[in-house]
A and B are shown apart, each in its own frame.
Chain A
Amino acid sequence: MILPINSAKNVYFAGKNSKTQVPEKTTEENKEKAKELPYSEDTLLKNNFLTRTRIGFDKFTNALTLYPAKGIKGSRNSNFYEFLTMGSVPYIVGSLMLMSVFNSANKHFDVFSKSKAGPIGRKMALGVLFYGIAKQISKSFISMPVKTMTGVDLNIPYAKFVNEHPEYPNDSDITSIEYHKVFESVDFPYWQMLYNEDNGKPRNEYFDKVGKKLGLGSNLNDSDQEVKPLIKEILIKAKTATNLSTYLWAATGVALAFQEPWENFFKVMSFKFWDKAKITKSAIAFKDSLVDSAKAFYHGEGRGLQKHAGKILLGAAIASSVLGVINVMSISGKPSKLSAGDVIDNKEKYVVN
């Protein structure tokens, strides 16, 4: 069911040229609304730490508050983006829960069982933490070299201005902002975001830059057409490598957390950040345990597979990233322009038999 839009004057479809389309006579309410949103059209954002943090925070808070509230009411505006964003909730809740499963019951155990179960539970918790950290960090093992060597930043964010359905008659709160990435889809990259419009710079600046990095030379007539297929290939290969290698790194993180030396850290572990002495001691112990654990993980104990398991896992993780990057860099070379057969020449007449 689509509700009738019975206050058409309150609705403006923002899109690209929203500024020109905003009706002159806006209600007070709409003015406020327009002010509230940080963007009034789809806007390319800089991929820096500040933006990433801001987007992350925005998505995280929405995933815990606004989106579930909309979703559980069955809102017609609850879309796939919100569903995907809510996907971070089970990750975080699940991690905390996993830590809890291994630790919460321990305090009810007797001293001996507690002493046995404690370190296992804490290692488990640390493992969950390291899984997440390793998975996040390892993404850059692919994206960084790819960006350096090709100029293609896999993670350029943009803010999407969304027009929503009215939820009820006279609903004027019908716009929202979503944070996407230009290259989140390999089938439909948001190319439009990469062109320069109205700022005096060459329209194809981005594609010129990438083309030059990829060795297609400068002064290309239509660099966007030349470079787009190459960027697509880079995206696909890089995403393939990322999808496979990050989980191997995550596994390496878990394995690192399961080393004996961490028990030294657990003994002095403290989160009392106001107690300087304790937190310093805790930090030093963490550093020492990290170094010792890394050694223990690498060298292993016992013999055979038991001894070399760490090296094998680390080797697999490194290999997956390195091979991934090599594969990205071995793009099919200079693209041929579209072959004559693919182009319909408007001056000719075609007959279908």
Chain B
Amino acid sequence: MRTNLIQNYIVNNNVSMGAYQAPDKDRPAFSVHENLYNRTFIKPLPPTAKLVNGSIFNAPAEMVKDWAYEVKSLKDGISGKANDHELGKLNDVGMKLGGLAIAAYLAAKKSTPLTKAMEFVGFASFFASMALWPKIAIQLPAKLIHGINTRQAYEDSEGRKKPFSLDTQFLPFDLFSDKKIDKIGDWQRVPKDLPNRRDFIQEKMRMEYVQNNTLWMMTAGFATPVMSGLICNFATPYVEKILAKHDNKMNEKMLQDFPDSVEAAVNNSINNKIETFIQFNKDKPLNETVKKELTEILTANANPVLADGIAYDLEQIMKNDKYIIDNSIPEYINKKIIATLSQSMDEDLIKQIVPTSTQISEIFENGNYINKTYTAKEHRDLIAKIRQALISNVEKYNNISGNQKLNTDFIEDLVSNVDMEADPIKKGLKHVPARTFDVNMQNTVKSIANAITNFNAKVAVLHKYAYKKVAHAADSSLAFEYNKIANKLVKILGIAPEELDNARYDRELMNNVIRSNFERIASSKEEYTRVMTELVDAVSGLDSNIKQSDINSFKNHLNNSFNDSATDFTNLNMKKTVARIVGLNRNSGKGSYKNVMESFVSDRLNGVKYAMYRLISTLDLYRRIATLENTEVLYNSDIPREYKEAYIEMAKRTSVQAHSADYAVKFYDPKNPHPDFKDLSNIELDADGKPIYNYFGKEAGNKVDIPQSYRIFQDEMSLMHGDRMHQETEAILKPKNLLETLREYRKNVVEILGGEFYFIKPEHIATVQTQSTSEQRFLLSGIALDEWLTKIAKQTHNTNKWLKMFGGFGAGLLGVTVLAQFFFGRAKLQDDTAIKNNKLSNNNLKNKVDNHA
């Protein structure tokens, strides 16, 4: 606790105070001593300010202290007691609050966890840059060059923490000990014997503080956004990795605790709506409106195909075949007839001839039909009687109307129709169904609602899992793995960045880049082994991160969930719904919702995997050609040398560029139709492992596609995908358990892509003709490598361009900022001289003051 001024004085000076002498206004003489005596105790307390030396150890404590101070500032601000320092702090609080609000708003608008997270990373990086730039570019160099701390903080006697050098005209140098100042002077090589050394050092420090403050203000605007951008750029992959890992883990956990996850996903809105509906509609006739509303509630948010099934089944369950006649019917029929006739007759006339409600009521009462159901025969009788009533009214009218008689047959025709909907009397009689929304029906509907809610919850969990795992979305595990491999690819293949960059706009150029690089890789055993090993490692990473066991577990849950729900729906007699979710045949599940979900996952997975397999297979082909191993076709003594050369070219190009459509048309591949059949020699290689061509590129005459020669297609398929893989490739694949997978893949390519029937070239079948879907063929062909690399090249170009521009700018700015500091604190060399001649200048000053006086 602080003592007050007076107590403090007494304790420190051990004085005994006399009575305070009030100044006497009339006293003519002014005594300095007396005044001083009287005022001695009104002197300030000894200062308790101190320098704050921030270190990593007291940082947390300082942070807590700062927070507490901010809270206090806010409290004081609101109650109107804050001081300038506290209000300044509140400004910082407001700035952070606003920044956080921006990040939170933008994150709320973003859809993926990564983009959401990056908004906060952006916010944090911006504020971090604001704090880091002066530390890195100014504080650190200043410490090294001048030995001063430009970010020195001090705590004033009131306990307010302030930057030491902010106001350079009021620097509290008292807080620096002589030793500290001397140390700084030594660092700055101030001569030790300088008179008034401390003053000189302080002046130098003041200059440096001013200069550094100015430098900070001049550079921060350039540096902060660039630094923030660079931080975000470097942080993205790490944030992405952390999020992907976390997401994948949560996703797996969701599936492991499947029952709990389902329970958590239960949305009772359907059940609740049904309960409310029952309250308002119980025991009401089960008419169209009731049925429609029930169907709408039960199919809300359902997949439209499934909704159709449910609606159909509900229609069957709530089917009416009996109707009753209640008191509302006479009036209803009366209105219906009026409505029908009003299309062709005047209103006045209609009023005179249409049977009134009372008339119709009498018919029902006479036959004792009220509140009863009726048979088909009674239905016919009732129709006849009501029509008869109408006819007799018409006849009565005719009797009194004179010449303007109505044709009774015509009128009867107007109100008669085979279609129940168009016949007012038939329709009227079937207005009130005999069936009501009774307890049985209520229970059935409740059970259906339960079954649907349960099914929806299971689907929601499975859907979320499938989406997070393999969806074509930026935040799926599969996308993350795919990007991971894509990002490594250029480095693995050893393609020079400039080469890739230059080819990014043109497929042909990219094709050349790939080809030259693949040939380079394939020509050397060491390089090939390195590339293939790294590639296989990367691809097998996909298998270890998206495990087959996980996918199998998903399929099991999918099967069980759908089958259980199918049983529930079967018990509720909802056959169409069952067919929609598990198919007419549960084992095959053909055309079912279940199969769609299952194949979505496997297709997406295969789509990515096959892109990788194609890459491995292509590189293997280049290696086989470069070594002429496992290339049976090229050793075939029936094939002319010219064609062997053409096959090699064809295979190299197709394996890089082809889409499934190229296989479908059996390759458009012009060749010389009359090759030299005498030259059946084998291919030779040059020193770089490239085939030596005697014919290719030197052919005279026109080349054409030869549709009748299916052998060419078969040979090419065999060279590309049919021959065994290179032994080096197999040796690398085997330990990673990918050998059989790759073999299976290549076999499928030959059989499925090569086995498709094409009516223009019907004989062009690689081995056997096969049936396949376009989806299968599309997936099998994977991604064309030139297209893949073009995409990568464009992305890399964009990122690199940005980095080059702003990274370069940032580095330049940092350089200039640091360099500038070497010129700081030395502009006052004349002062040095002045100080060295201190005595002289003091004398001069004295003289001048004397002169002036």
Contacts and interface: CB of A to CB of B under 8 A. Distances in A.
A310 B381 CA distance: 67
A105 B825 contact: no
A55 interface: no
Contact of B206 (A76, A243, A331): A76
A91 to B, nearest CB: 7
Given A186-B82, A258-B106, A351-B19, A92 B221 contact: yes
Interface stretch (A65-73, A203-211, A215-223, A275-283): A65-73
A270 interface: no
Contacts of B848: 4, 6, 8
Contacts of A331: 80
A236 to B, nearest CB: 5
Nearest to B92: A243
Interface stretch (A26-34, A82-90, A142-150, A191-199): A82-90
A71 B820 CA distance: 13
B221 A237 contact: no
Given A237-B80, A251-B105, A71 B210 contact: yes
B168 A79 contact: yes
Interface in B781-798: 794, 797-798
A248 B97 contact: yes
A93 B80 CA distance: 35
Contacts of B80: 232-234, 236-237, 331-332
Interface in B61-101: 74, 76-78, 80-84, 87, 90-91, 93-95, 97-99, 101
Contacts of B98: 246-248, 250-251
A109 interface: yes
A9 B853 CA distance: 11
Contacts of A8: 848, 852
Contact of A1 (B90, B94, B199, B805): B199
A100 B825 CA distance: 34
A349 B19 contact: yes
B77 A237 contact: yes
Contacts of B221: 89-97
A218 B220 CA distance: 52
A75 interface: yes
A93 B217 CA distance: 10
B211 A72 contact: yes
Contacts of A44: none
Interface string A37-77: 00000000000000000000000000000011011111110
Contact of B225 (A83, A101, A352): A101
Interface in A1-35: 1, 4, 6, 8-9
A285 interface: no
Given A1-B203, A79-B167, A316-B101, A105 B218 contact: no
A271 interface: no
B20 A90 contact: no
Contacts of A75: 210
A347 B20 CA distance: 12
Interface string B87-128: 100110111011101101110110000000000000000000
Nearest to B220: A90
Contacts, number: 215
Given A1-B831, A6-B848, A104-B805, A254 B102 contact: yes
B588 interface: no
Given A68-B217, A309-B105, A80 B166 contact: yes
A305 interface: yes
B214 A306 contact: no
Contact of A351 (B20, B206, B222): B20
A97 B222 contact: yes
Nearest to B805: A105
Contacts of B78: 237, 240, 327
Interface residues of A, number: 78
B207 to A, nearest CB: 3
A122 interface: no
B845 A349 contact: no
Chain A at the B interface: mostly helix, strand, loop or mixed?
A: helix
In this complex, the member of B74, B76, B94 whose beta carbon has the largest number of chain A beta carbons within 10 angstroms is B94
B20 A350 contact: yes
B828 to A, nearest CB: 8
Interface string B531-566: 000000000000000000000000000000000000
Contact of A244 (B93, B104, B217, B825): B93
A108 interface: yes
Contact of B226 (A89, A101, A244): A101
A185 B805 contact: no
B745 interface: no
A90 B224 contact: yes
Given A74-B825, A76-B206, A248 B168 contact: no
Chain B at the A interface: mostly helix, strand, loop or mixed?
A: helix
B400 interface: no
A93 B224 CA distance: 10
Given A4-B845, A109-B801, A254-B102, A240 B852 contact: no
A78 interface: yes
Nearest to B215: A72
A334 B167 CA distance: 38
A244 B94 contact: yes
Contact of A248 (B22, B101, B504): B101
In this complex, the member of B20, B87, B824 whose beta carbon has the largest number of chain A beta carbons within 10 angstroms is B87
Contacts of A245: 94
A113 interface: yes
A339 interface: no
A351 B6 CA distance: 12
Nearest to B799: A105
Given A80-B169, A248-B97, A254-B102, A89 B217 contact: yes
Contacts of B828: 1, 74
Given A79-B168, A239-B77, A313 B226 contact: no
Contacts of A240: 74, 77-78, 82, 87, 90
B827 interface: yes
Contact of B210 (A78, A237, A310): A78
B57 to A, nearest CB: 31
Contact of B22 (A250, A316, A349): A349
B758 interface: no
A68 B798 contact: no
A98 B225 contact: yes
A255 interface: yes
A152 to B, nearest CB: 13
Contacts of B166: 80, 83
A298 B362 CA distance: 63
B332 interface: no
B83 to A, nearest CB: 5
A74 B168 CA distance: 10
In this complex, the member of A4, A68, A247, A310 whose beta carbon has the largest number of chain B beta carbons within 10 angstroms is A247
A172 B358 CA distance: 117
A248 B169 CA distance: 35
A36 interface: no
A27 B94 CA distance: 51
A186 B84 contact: yes
A105 B168 CA distance: 40
Nearest to B73: A240
A187 interface: yes
B208 interface: yes
8 contacts: A1-B199, A6-B845, A89-B218, A243-B91, A244-B94, A305-B108, A350-B20, A352-B10
The 4 closest A-B pairs by CB, nearest first: A247-B98, A93-B221, A71-B214, A240-B77
Given A68-B217, A83-B168, 7 more contacts: A83-B213, A90-B224, A187-B84, A240-B78, A240-B87, A306-B109, A352-B10
